[in-house]
Amino acid sequence: MEGTMRGVCKMAPGKGAEYRTDLPIPQTGDDEVLMKVHASAICGTDLHIYGWNEWAANRMKNLPIVFGHETAGEIVEIGKNVTGFQVGDRISVETHIPCNHCFQCENDRRHICENMKLFGVTEPGAFAEYAPVPKDCIVRLGDGVSYEMGAMLEAMGAGVHGVEKAEVRGKAVLVSGCGPIGLMVAGACKAHGARRIIACDILPEKLKLAEAMGADVTINSMETDIVQAVRRETGGAGADAAIDITGNGRAIVAGLRALRKGGRMVSVGLPSGEIPVNLTEDIIYREIQYTGVSGRQMFATWDDCMEILQSPGFSLEPVMGGRYPLDGFEDALAAIQGGAPGKMLLIP
């Protein structure tokens, strides 16, 4: 496909990004499809790229580049090595681009590939009218899944992966952080059969959304001691599992201490630095199982997400925030930074 397109581009190191109307439409490689973008969601990673923190500076060596990785659209061109898809297919995109030959890839753990590339970070992304999608990253959308819902599945998958690791069925679960991923985690816990869902955050409007997503109890951690509150809600025993979306050190330690002995802690959110933890008292003596998750299992977690979307009572609507045109991306970023609840979407 020839011509130019509109898009949001990270032009150079430093804070900021630029809306452009003269970007070349990507050429479709042999191992890619070209996707016409219908919706893209803004992630915390995109804020890091815009603000140009240490994480972004260490990974993005290929500027200028269109960024954005949570997206959905339709296939308009297909590379010669791509099979199983056709023009017109409705798709979402897995962010992790595996090498397919390292130890992790050869042992069905492509989501933690040793040579990982990242769609919308190290490779061109989706804050534009068109995006090139590697064949290993194509996810077909289920019937009834809108493009806006499809744009949220990548983030939902990270949370659902955490729910899978926590094995929540029949358990009392603490969900720390009620941003978009935390809200979807609360809904996924309910769909997976959690016995009791306790959600905490510092913003009342986010806690109200957590109730809409299925939380049985909500706690404002600015006003209430989380450990004491969780123990009250669990008859003194503590939560069976805790899933942290915040990446905040104090929230992680509180989550650990809110667990019963033998409980399970799952970290989804990314801390910005090292976190001091009392391994002896908080983990070892209490036999706490602690694990982290990185993205989504390819593609078992995606299949799980599609099933959850069909669960009675589950809806992504409470998680959807504002909808903005591409040239309104600065307004969308400002809304997120201002604490607006829900996921902000860019609609080309």
Q: 173 with 260: CB under 8 angstroms?
A: no
Closest Cα to residue 120, out of 188, 65, 41?
A: 65
Q: Is 45 a catalytic residue?
A: yes
Q: For every residue of 85-126, which 3-state class applies, written as one string?
A: CCCCCEEEECCEECCCCCHHHHCCCHHHCCCCEEECCCECCC
Closest Cα to residue 296, out of 75, 70, 83, 85?
A: 70
- CA dihedral over 27, 32, 38, 43, signed as positive or negative: negative
Q: 296 with 157: CB under 8 angstroms?
A: yes
Q: Report the C-alpha gap between 150 and 155 in whole angstroms.
A: 10
Q: Is 69 a catalytic residue?
A: no
Query: Out of 28, 38, 45, 95, which one is annotated catalytic?
Result: 45
H/E stretch holding 224 reads none
Within a 13 Å sphere around the CA of 284, how many CA atoms are in the beta-carbon half? 5
Within a 13 Å sphere around the CA of 280, how many CA atoms are in the beta-carbon half? 0
Query: Out of 48, 69, 111, 161, which one is annotated catalytic?
Result: 48
Cβ contacts of residue 114 below 8 Å, gap of 6+?
99, 102, 103, 104, 105
Q: What residues act catalytically?
A: 45, 48
